[in-house]
Every structure is written in structure tokens, then in C-alpha cells.
Structure 1
Amino acid sequence: MSEAPNPTLDAILERRRRKRTLLTLLAVGVAVAGIGAFFWLRGPGEDASPIAPPAPAPAAAAPDTQPESIAPGPELVESPAATALPTQPLPPLAKSDSRVRELAARWSSRPELLQWLASDELIRRVVAAVDATARGESPTDQAPASMRLKGRFEVVESGAAWVAAPSAYARYDLLTEIVSGLDSEALVLAYRELEPLFEEAHRALGSSLGSFDAALRQAIRELLSTPKIPGQPLLEPLLPGHGYVDPALEGLSAAQKQLLRFGPTNAPRVQHKVREIALRLGMPESELPPLAD
């Protein structure tokens, strides 16, 4: 395994650690929001890949694009299977964390889930992560420390290029197991109960995407349209970390490329859970990108 420390990249590495936490944020976060997998999925503080980067080429000017407002689709129709349970009066948004954790106990018996949610402002964090995913972005500031993965996204040499080391994908195994095993019906019921708080938090965010419902739909489509990659895609050193040799992969959105970091086995499992919960929320199947076989 090759690693070339570069002290000039310390600040970049720290930013990547925070990004990796968002992967979990997006995963559990959309679970909280009702689609179950990637929305805190911009992973726990992703470290930069330990590739020795070349001297950076002059960066091309970023196109001056403004995100367009997303037209809301038809209202989500609750699945008949999601029969409402007796609910408590909604707490204020600022005091909603304990209610989120109480509901989360119905989604999974895994203690790690509640450990991940041992933070504050959970709904606000989820809303920010979902909104960023809808834009194809990968937020870096919403991830609680409790969700940070350990270690770096390591790479190994493969001919003249690089590929992800097995340990890089293995870091997401536990997260994938927990997300895949979440009770989709319980998630939908929780989202229905808390939906006014999600909308309140989204309004406070000042997003141009319209309602939280519209942002959620777009985020779901963003994740489900991420291509399935068989085998090991080749990587090349870029600042920060690495990029894909294949221009089609490198051209994906930041959110989609982060989902690919789950690996060729884990990423499709996350997508299947996202799709399952989207259908339970009542999103028409025609609105969802088909999953690759």
C-alpha cells in the first residue's frame, strides 16, 4: 500500500474528514427523512486518499450557475401499509431531538443507530444534507462527530493508476448493514409525524429549491441515478485526494461520487433502500430512475 504524506495538505485532509461524516449523515439522515440511505450519506469526515498528488494545474473557472428552483411534483401519497400510529403533540423544532431518537428506536434494534443520533439539531442537519444532495453537492458542516468513520480512504496501485483498497469500502459495511435493515414502514410513519418540522427547518434554510418535499424528491432522484460500477474504477491523483480516470465518472455530481465510495457491493444496497422507502412514501415509480441490474 502506498502513502505519501504531504504536510501541505493538512487543511485539505481535515475538510475531507468532515465530508466523510456527511456520508453517514446523508445515509441515516434520509432514513430520518423517510428515504433511508444516503442523505447523511456524505460521509463521516472523509480523509483524502493517500496518493501523492502532482503539482496542481491551474483550475478552470467554475461556471457561474445558479440552482434552478425545482418544481414540486404531485404530493407524496402515503402507502396504505403505513398506518399511522398514535402520535404525541409535535415538539418545537429546537427541542425535537429527543423525539427523533425516540422514533429511531422503532427503525432498528441496532445500538449504533442511536449512538449516531447522539447529537443535536438532528432535523436541521438532515434538512441541510438533503438540500445539498438535491443540488448534487456534498455538505461538509452538518455531520456530528458521533458518525465519523475511522481511517482514510486508502488506495493501492494498479498498473499506472490506482484503485480503492478493500479497507476503503469495508469502512462502510456497518453503515450499509444498518441502513439496509431499517424498518421502512416505521421510517415513513416517523417522517409523516415530523414532516411539519422538516418543512419548518427547510424554510429557515432559505433554499431556492422550494419545499422540503421537492428537495427530498430531487435528492432521491440524484442518488438513484448514480450508475452501478462493476469492478474497480481506476483513480488518479488530484487535489484534494483523487479523481476517477473515466471522465463519465469524474463528471458525476459530488453527491453521486460520494455514494460510489461505498463500493460496488454496498452502494446498490443503499440505493435499493432509498427506492423502497421512496415508494412507501408514495413517489410514483415512473418518477424514480430505474436501478441497474
Structure 2
Amino acid sequence: MSEEDTRNRSLVPYIAIAVVLIVVIGAVLFWPAEKTIEPVPPVDVPVTTIPDVTPLPEPEEEPMEQEPEVMPEVEAEPEAAPEPIPLDTSDAAVKTELLKLSDYDALARLLVNDDLLQRFVIMTNNLADDTLPANHQVLTAPEQSFRTFQQADKEWIDPASYKRYTPYVDVLESLDPQSLEQLYEEYKPAINKIFAEISSPGQNFDDTLIEAMDLLLDTPEVPVPVEVYTDSVMFKFKDQRLEELTAPQKQLLRTGPENMRRIKAKLRELKSAISAAQE
């Protein structure tokens, strides 16, 4: 039955039809009134008074049996499907689901504990816009500080600085792309709702996520060591071509060539999984 038929059927009122038959029978008996007779001499005949006789009551008509009221058959409405259980989007629930995808202790130490979905959406949107959000990271900052060394009157990034990102890359590599993509699809309605509140009309989060990945994948490979210089309180790349890269790309460069290679490989896997799901 089509949806329209179901809707029309629900609008039809219940109609009860009662059929009542009334039968009236009347009978009139006429006796002959007179008959011609030869005259007879009168004869004295004692008169006998005939007492009045009360006529017998006519039998009461039995009422006709009324036909039973016929109710139309009403098609039973199908049972409504049970309401789906609302998805738990609390930080505890999201973090629990993420921790199932990787080593519990390592990932638990790196994940922030509040506004996980909001941070993920805002961070992704900012990455696609070539900016690096300062207060919306999904992971905690490394404990070790950024280090440099000086040689031949020049300042270079200390390779030890790259190692502080290795635990993050280890966790990233441990995530199964298909499992992560399935979890992403599960939380997609909540993600889209958050994204609709911060994005322009017509924007799609899947496309924004792919743009953020493409931005990081376009980060150039550079030989080490990498020369930097201090401008006020910030380190900048001496090579102007590197300094003109976007903030997310420069941050990826600071993870070091090996970590960047591993991160890019994982991003390609995740991008492939999400793209396949869109087809």
C-alpha cells in the first residue's frame, strides 16, 4: 500500500449503517348484511335479552426482530516501528568509541576531554580555510617544547623536536581506516548539525574534510636540517617559500620529514575510505 493510500484510508471515518424493516399488516372481514326471505306470519316469541359481551382483546403484534447492526471492517493499522535510540554525543561517549579504535592508554592521554565533536568540526573547517585554530585542537599539545640548535651562525630545527610528535603519529597509524570511517558515518548527523551552525549555506562537511586533507597532502617535502630564525617571540622559516605556506602546512612541516611521510600516508587511506563511502 502506498503512503498516499495509507494517508487517505486514515482519513475515512468509521460509518455504522443500521437497517430497520417495519411491516404493518391490516385485515378487514365483511359479512353479508341482508338476504331476501319470504315473509312469515308473525309468531309471538319470547324475547331473550342477550347480555353484552365484552369482545376479546386482539392479540398484540409481536415486534419485528431488528436486524443486527453491521459494522464495516476496519483494516488494522500496522504497528509503528520503535523509535530509534538517540545517539549519545556526549564527550564521554565519543571518547569511549574512539578509544575502541586504538591503544587505550596512548590515545586516552592525547585526547582532550571536552567538546570533542565541536572541536573536530571547527578544526576541520579552519584547516580547510588555511588557518590553524588555537583553541579547538582535538589532541593535547606535546609536553616537550620546540627546540633549535645553532651552527655556522645559523639556527636550525633540532631533530629532537620531531620526536615529540611521534606518539601522535603512532596512534594515528594504529587507527583502522574502515573502522574510523564507520564511526564518522555514525556521528555524521551530529557533525552536520554542528557544521551547519558555523558554515555558509550550501557547504558540505564531507567536502570540507576532503579539502582539509588535500591541504595537508599538498605540503612540500623539504630536506633537513631546516633553517629558521627568530622574529620577536616566534620562529619562522628562513626559506620564504616555506614561510608563505599556510599555517596547517607549516605545522605539518614541524613534525619532521619521517612523521610527515607517515601522516600523509594515513591521510590518503582515510581520504580513500571516505571517498569510497560517498560513491
Q: Using structure 1 for the length normalisation, give the TM-score.
A: 0.61
Q: Which residue of 1 aligns with 2:87?
A: 91
Deviation at 1:209, TM superposition (A): 8.2
Deviation at 1:108, TM superposition (A): 0.6
**Superimposed CA distance per residue, residues 241-276 of structure 1 (whole angstroms, 9 cap, x where no aligned partner):** 211111111110011000111011101101110111
CA distance in 1, matches of 2:200, 2:209: 12
Q: Which residue of 2 aligns with 1:107?
A: 101
CA distance in 1, matches of 2:200, 2:171: 30
Q: Percent identity, aligned pairs only?
A: 26
Residue 118 to residue 218, structure 1, CA distance change in 2 (3 Å): closer
Residue 147 to residue 172, structure 1, CA distance change in 2 (3 Å): same
- Residue of structure 1 aligned with 2:128, choices 134, 140, 143: 134
**Structure 1 alignment gaps of length 5 or more:** 1-87, 285-293
Q: Which residue of 1 aligns with 2:217?
A: 224
- The alignment covers a number of residue pairs equal to 194
- Residue of structure 2 aligned with 1:123, choices 108, 117, 123: 117
Residue 244 to residue 136, structure 1, CA distance change in 2 (3 Å): same
Q: Which residue of 1 aligns with 2:14?
A: none
Deviation at 1:132, TM superposition (A): 0.8
Q: Which residue of 2 aligns with 1:192?
A: 185
Q: Which residue of 2 aligns with 1:256?
A: 249
- Match of 2:130, as an amino acid? G
Deviation at 1:230, TM superposition (A): 2.5
Deviation at 1:89, TM superposition (A): 3.7
Structure richer in helix, relative to its length: 1
CA distance in 1, matches of 2:177, 2:204: 23
CA distance in 1, matches of 2:101, 2:200: 29
Question: Does residue 1:272 correspond to 2:268, yes or no?
Answer: no
**Which protein has greater RCO, CA pairs closer than 8 Å, 6+ apart?**
1
CA contact (8 A) 1:107 1:184 kept: no
Deviation at 1:158, TM superposition (A): 2.6
CA contact (8 A) 1:104 1:114 kept: no
Residue 277 to residue 226, structure 1, CA distance change in 2 (3 Å): same
CA distance in 2, matches of 1:208, 1:260: 33
**Greater C-alpha radius of gyration:** 2
- Match of 1:247, as an amino acid? Q
**Superimposed CA distance per residue, residues 143-172 of structure 1 (whole angstroms, 9 cap, x where no aligned partner):** 36x712113211111323211112211111
Deviation at 1:118, TM superposition (A): 4.9
Residue 217 to residue 263, structure 1, CA distance change in 2 (3 Å): same
Q: Which residue of 2 aligns with 1:161?
A: 154
**Superimposed CA distance per residue, residues 215-239 of structure 1 (whole angstroms, 9 cap, x where no aligned partner):** 1111011010001123212111123
Q: Which residue of 2 aligns with 1:6?
A: none
Deviation at 1:204, TM superposition (A): 1.6
CA distance in 1, matches of 2:223, 2:112: 36
CA contact (8 A) 1:209 1:215 kept: no
CA distance in 2, matches of 1:98, 1:232: 41
> Which deviates more, 103-112 or 117-126?
103-112
